[in-house]
Amino acid sequence: MDWDLSAQPPIVQTAVGFAIQGYEIALVWLLSPAAWSQFALLILSYVAAVVLTRRIRPVLTRVLTPPDDSVSMFARMRRSVLLTLPLLLPVLAYMFAAIGEQVTRSVFGTGTVIAFGKGLFLFLAARVLVRDIITDPFLKLLGRYVLLPVVALYAVGLLDLLTDQLNTTTVSLGNISFSVMALLRGVIAGSLLFWLGRWSNDQSAAYINKQEEMRPATRQLAAKAAELLIFGLAFILLMNIMGVPLTSLAVLGGAIGVGLGFGLQKIASNYISGVILLLEGQATVGDYVELDNGQAGTIVKTTARAMILETFDGRWIVVPNEDFITTRIINYSDQGSANRLEVAFSVSYDTDINLVPDIIVEAVSRHPGVLQSPEPPDVELRGFGDSGIDFGVEFWVNGIDDGKNKYASDVLFLIWNALKEHNIEIPYPHRVVELRNAPSAE
């Protein structure tokens, strides 16, 4: 084709040039036996993949499907493999196309058409993977905006060209210099590594928390150590992938050290205090503690910076770890030890007080939460009040007198019923008024 385009705008001339070039390439392909052979092999690869998939997939489904009530690790692995069966068709087509490419290159010395078809099958496999198999939102997002574009560029043959261009473009940050490709590789690899680190940390924490023979504080410490190890390895691997030598991070490490020494000293203090608490085991999840300012609650969560207490009215109190080291903390739980409680009551002055201790001890001992060890319930005479004789009963329980364990209320009910049963009067306040020099009635 010999067209005079000198009078046309440059963009039109360029577009027509590309169109003519594409037409000539397509014409060569249409008239080339090698191109027809590659088209035929692509069609044959796809048909063979369809036929083989229809025969294999029912068998694999039957073999990989575990019983409905099976929860073993092997059963979970079989279910996971079962989810990948939609990949069977594009992967088989890709494999057959790869074999056909080797054949055409050995016979005709070229394989451009079938190589493009092979890349297309790979793109279809990636699309099925992202759309039907991956369920994690982060991985699905990464697959949609990273994996699919990369595979599409590979399919059209532009991936190597773009990679070379990104490798030649460098970015400098202080004494560290790296290419844009290294930066992109670091962002993608870092996202995957830290996602994998988070998943591994969740799995290891769940496994450690199932070890009932370990003390709660030991489990917490092991979980924190595993978290530090996992993310530390992820960081080192990321630096190696980006090609950043660890020695070049000395300046950054020094800056972080200065920051810890000034602005971040409280964070560092709380973190170190948390490690000390885990090592000593003085306070851990499940303990009921009372702070120096009078606030009290159950420890429901520990973090690197603080402990979270839940009060009986459902509120959460965030207490820095440093407070557990530098202030007075009362731990009522102490890994399940008993606590002594006390309830006061009074009886009338008409009562034979020698009978009261046995009656009350018998009544309080009937409560299922009251312990006989380290000491049984004990009734003490406290004094002679204005309205009655004051007593107090002390008893030991596992727990505290609040929330689901209303020990004091239950014991007061038992005392009331026992005194009523023995006709012992519980006094109420009264006064005797004496009038002197009062006028006599006439």
DSSP string, 125-181: HHHHIIIII---HHHHHHIIIIIHHHHHHHHHT-HHHHHHHHHH-EEEETTEEEEHH
End-to-end CA distance of the chain: 147
User: What are the φ and ψ backbone dihedral angles of 251, each rounded to 5 degrees?
Assistant: -65, -45
Position 350 scores a pLDDT of 87
Nearest to 66 by CA among 86, 81, 85: 81
User: Encoding tokens for residue 92?
Assistant: 């088989």
Position 418 scores a pLDDT of 92
Residue 354 neighbours by CB distance under 10 Å: 7
For 339-421, CATH number? 3.30.70.100
Q: What residues contact residue 157 under an 8 Å CB cut-off, 6+ apart?
A: 115, 116, 119
Which one-letter amino acid corresponds to residue 212? E
Biggest CA–CA distance in the chain, Å, is 149
Judged by phi (left if over 0) then psi (alpha if -120 to 50, else beta), residue 141 lies in alpha
pLDDT digit string (tens) for the chain, length 442 residues: 555 666 667 776 677 666 766 666 666 655 566 677 777 888 888 899 899 989 988 888 888 888 877 777 777 788 888 888 888 888 898 898 888 888 887 777 777 778 888 888 888 888 888 888 888 888 888 888 888 888 888 887 777 888 888 778 777 766 666 677 777 777 787 777 777 777 777 777 777 777 776 666 666 667 777 777 777 777 777 777 666 665 655 555 565 566 555 556 677 777 777 777 777 667 777 777 888 777 788 888 777 778 888 887 778 888 888 888 888 887 776 555 677 888 999 999 888 889 999 999 999 999 888 888 888 999 999 999 888 899 999 998 877 766 566 788 889 999 999 999 998 888 877 667 777 765 655 5
- CA–CA distance, 63 with 164 (Å, rounded to integer): 46
- CA–CA distance, 205 with 226 (Å, rounded to integer): 8
Q: Are 105 and 34 in contact (CB under 8 A)?
A: no
Position 405 scores a pLDDT of 62
User: Encoding tokens for residue 52?
Assistant: 């083989």
Reported pTM? 0.51
Q: Give helix 112-128 / helix 148-156 axis angle, nearest 10°.
A: 170
360 exposed, middle or buried (CB, 10 Å; 0-12, 13-18, 19+)?
Answer: buried
- CA–CA distance, 426 with 442 (Å, rounded to integer): 40
Position 218 scores a pLDDT of 65
Position 390 scores a pLDDT of 92
User: Encoding tokens for residue 78?
Assistant: 């079989």
Residue 288 neighbours by CB distance under 10 Å: 21
Position 264 scores a pLDDT of 62
For 266-331, CATH number? 2.30.30.60
Q: Are 151 and 122 in contact (CB under 8 A)?
A: yes
